[in-house]
Structure 1
Amino acid sequence: MATITLSEHVISTFTNGLATLSHVLRVAEAHAAANGLDADAEYLQARLVADQLPLTFQVQNATATVRKNIARLTGAADVAWADDEKTFADLHARIARALEVLKGADAAAIDARAEEEVELPLAGQPFKLSSRQSALGHGIPNFYFHTATAYSILRSKGVPIGKKDWIAGFLGVAL
């Protein structure tokens, strides 16, 4: 039985998830264009409920989760990105930037640090756990939360996306 390393799991999950996110954004843009809508005006500030943050935030937070987790897993300093995206083009550029972080991630460093203790801010308090626990118990679930919420916002706005659009990217299949 083959064993999957922490780096393989994290990097592939984030990479494939970003492909999914990029795909659903492209479908939203195409749907808007086909219906004479301005995708930026129609979708960027859309949300599922009034007290939830909009689509733009969901993409920003999904990509920030990638950046923060790779920094935490490799022991590198985390350098925050400005959250100033105002267009779909900006969101695509942000996703591309997160993909570059993943391409440059030091897999050996991630695997070497898998059991090292890291500090994770949780509910305003520092929480200590292993890098592995941080990635598998917080990083990946948080990433899924924001990418699934982005998908759901677009779906609620009538964008014709379905389960195949969600799953294909995670399988590494381009639609």
Structure 2
Amino acid sequence: MPLQLSELVLSTFSNGLKVLVHLIDVAEEHAYYLGLSADDLYPDARLIEDMKPFSFQIQEATTAVNIALARLGVTELQAWADEESTMAELRARIAKAQKLLEEVDKEDIDKGADEAAYLHFGPMTLTTTGKGSILGYSIPNFFFHIQTAYAILRSKGVPLGKKDYAESFVLPYLVV
């Protein structure tokens, strides 16, 4: 059976959100080990001054899920204020995106695969299909922000490795 868009969307986004939760878990454990506050260390942390902080990366990854589902026509675009400033608030933001994924109908995602979808880039609007928007923009954008969140924490000394990034993606597909 060919891969359905719904399987790609739901598994990629759900597993990626699990990665973000895991990154927060490890960061909080590390801060605790150091006797410091994770809220003081990580939400505003950046790789370099002109880049957006860790909190922004979580916000953008979850917004990517929100927008992707709306672009496919399976949910209304949720208005989420980007005001999270603590690890608990960031965790709640991830849970909100996960809830969106849990509530969608797989068949509706698949119906939207060949429908027109619009990508807005400043004053430009590009037309593609639902599948094109997912493969060409939503998933790459989602991965960019997950990887940047990982890199920010790693640069701040959080003991993360490739396993921490990849495990949530591979575990659901292991054959026992």
Q: TM-score higher than 0.5 here?
A: yes
- Range of TM-score over shorter length: over 0.9
Query: Equivalent residue for 1:76?
Result: 75
1:30 matched to 2:29? The reply is: yes
Q: Matched residues, percent identical?
A: 47
TM-score (norm 1): 0.95
CA distance in 1, matches of 2:10, 2:133: 14
Cα deviation per residue 1:113-148 (whole Å; 9 max; x = unaligned)? 101111110243111000000001100000000000
Unaligned runs of 5+ in 1: none
Query: Equivalent residue for 1:106?
Result: 105
CA distance in 2, matches of 1:22, 1:152: 15
CA distance in 1, matches of 2:8, 2:78: 23
Query: Equivalent residue for 1:9?
Result: 8
Query: Equivalent residue for 1:96?
Result: 95
Query: Equivalent residue for 1:85?
Result: 84
Query: Equivalent residue for 1:115?
Result: 114
Aligned length: 172
What displacement does 1:52 show? Answer: 0.4
What letter matches 1:113 in structure 2? Answer: G
What displacement does 1:164 show? Answer: 0.4
1:137 matched to 2:136? The reply is: yes
Query: Equivalent residue for 2:50?
Result: 51
Cα deviation per residue 1:24-55 (whole Å; 9 max; x = unaligned)? 11000000000011111111111111110000
Unaligned runs of 5+ in 2: none
Alignment of 1:62-73 (within 5 A): 62-73=61-72
1:127 matched to 2:126? The reply is: yes
CA distance in 2, matches of 1:53, 1:71: 25
What letter matches 2:8 in structure 1? Answer: H
Query: Equivalent residue for 1:61?
Result: 60
CA distance in 2, matches of 1:118, 1:59: 24
Residue 128 of structure 2 aligns to a residue whose secondary structure is strand
What displacement does 1:75 show? Answer: 4.7
Structure-2 change in CA distance of 1:23 and 1:37 (3 Å):
same
What displacement does 1:110 show? Answer: 1.0
Residue 113 of structure 2 aligns to a residue whose secondary structure is coil
Residue 118 of structure 1 aligns to a residue whose secondary structure is strand
CA distance in 2, matches of 1:124, 1:136: 22
Query: Equivalent residue for 2:41?
Result: 42
* The 10-residue stretch of structure 1 (71-80 or 25-34) with the greater mean CA deviation from structure 2: 71-80
